[in-house]
Chain A
Amino acid sequence: MPTGDKPPRSGRLGWTLLWALMIAWVIGLTVRAHGELAAEYTVEGLFRSYHSPYETALGAVVDPRPALALPAEIQRRYAPDAPAPGDAPPTDAAGWTALLDGLGLNARPFTADRWTGAPPRLRLGPDGPLLLIGLFGVDPVALVPGVGVVRIPEGALPPATVDLALVGAREPPW
Chain B
Amino acid sequence: MVVAPAHHGRWPTTLTAGPRWALAVLAGLLNGAGFILLGPLALVANVPLLCALWGARSATQAALLGGIVGVLGGAHIYGILNYGWWILVAFSLYTGSQMVIYGLLMRLVWGRIGGGIGRVFDVALPALVWTLTEWIRSVGPLSMPASYAGNIADVALLRPWLALAPHTGGLGVSTVIALVGSVIFHLGFVRGAHTRPALGAAALIAAVGAFGALAPPDLGARPLTVAGVQGGLANPQYQAAQADPAAMRDVVATYETLTRQAFDGGADLVVWPETAVRAPVLETRSLRARLFPRPDDAGTLIAGLIARDRDGRGYNLAVAIGPGEDPDGKPGRELGRQAKVRLVPGVEAHFTAGPAWRPIATPAGRVGVLICLESVYPIGARTLVAHGAELLVVMSNDAGFGRSPITDHMTRRAIVRAVETGRWLLRVGQAGITTLIDPRGRSHGALGLFVPGVLDGEARLRDDATLYVRWGEWWMALCGVLLALAAALAAARARRSRRVSVRSTT
Contact = CB atoms under 8 A, between A and B. Distances in A.
- A interface residue count range (under 10 / 10 to 19 / 20 to 34 / 35 or more): 35 or more
Contact of B18 (A15, A44, A134): A15
A37 B29 contact: no
Nearest to A63: B240
A172 B249 CA distance: 8
A79 to B, nearest CB: 14
Interface stretch (A22-30, A108-116, A158-166): A22-30
A115 B141 CA distance: 45
B76 A29 contact: yes
A22 B25 contact: yes
Interface stretch (A3-11, A82-90, A92-100): A3-11
A22 B252 CA distance: 47
A173 interface: yes
A173 B245 contact: yes
A147 interface: no
A39 interface: yes
Given A1-B57, A7-B19, A43 B240 contact: no
A125 B284 CA distance: 39
Contact of B243 (A2, A149, A174): A149
Q: Give 9 closest A-B pairs by Cβ, nearest first.
A: A4-B16, A63-B240, A136-B243, A33-B78, A174-B252, A4-B14, A141-B243, A36-B404, A62-B240
Contacts of A36: 79, 402-404
Nearest to A37: B402
A52 B249 contact: no
A37 B236 CA distance: 13
A41 B257 CA distance: 24
A18 B20 CA distance: 12
Given A15-B19, A45-B452, A46-B253, A174 B244 contact: no
Contacts of B242: 136
Interface residues of B, number: 52
Interface of B is mostly: helix
Contact of A25 (B12, B29, B248, B249): B29
Interface of A is mostly: mixed
A50 B26 contact: no
Nearest to A135: B243
A63 B247 contact: yes
B257 A46 contact: yes
Nearest to B235: A53
B474 interface: no
A37 B450 contact: no
Interface string B251-291: 11110011000000000000000000001000010110000
Nearest to A73: B246
Given A36-B402, A36-B404, A50 B246 contact: no
B81 A50 contact: no
Contacts of A46: 232, 253-254, 257-258, 452
Nearest to A18: B22
A47 to B, nearest CB: 6
Contact of B245 (A5, A48, A133): A133
Contacts of A3: 14, 16
A172 B245 contact: yes
Given A18-B22, A26-B29, A174-B287, A47 B250 contact: yes
A174 to B, nearest CB: 4
A132 B26 CA distance: 56
A47 B258 CA distance: 12
B482 interface: no
27 contacts: A1-B14, A2-B14, A5-B14, A22-B22, A25-B33, A26-B29, A33-B78, A36-B79, A37-B79, A37-B404, A41-B450, A44-B451, A44-B452, A47-B253, A50-B236, A53-B240, A63-B240, A133-B245, A136-B242, A149-B240, A149-B247, A151-B243, A172-B249, A173-B245, A173-B248, A174-B251, A174-B279
Contacts of A171: 245-246
B236 A52 contact: yes
Nearest to B37: A29
Nearest to A133: B244
A128 B250 CA distance: 27
Nearest to A143: B244
A4 B240 CA distance: 62
Given A36-B79, A45-B254, 5 more contacts: A37-B402, A45-B452, A62-B240, A149-B240, A149-B247
A75 to B, nearest CB: 13
Contacts of B81: 33, 37
A36 B398 CA distance: 14
Interface string A28-70: 0100010011010101111110101100000000110000000
B239 interface: yes
Given A18-B22, A173-B279, A43 B237 contact: yes
Contacts of B4: 1
A62 B246 CA distance: 13
Contacts of A47: 250, 253-254
A43 B452 CA distance: 9
B73 to A, nearest CB: 12
Contacts of A37: 78-79, 81-82, 402, 404
Interface in B64-90: 76, 78-79, 81-82
B436 interface: no
A63 B247 CA distance: 8
B243 A134 contact: yes
Given A22-B26, A45-B237, A62 B14 contact: no
A43 B244 contact: no
B234 interface: yes
B15 interface: yes
B282 to A, nearest CB: 13
Contacts of B22: 15, 18-19, 22
A47 B256 CA distance: 12
A50 B254 CA distance: 13
Nearest to B452: A46
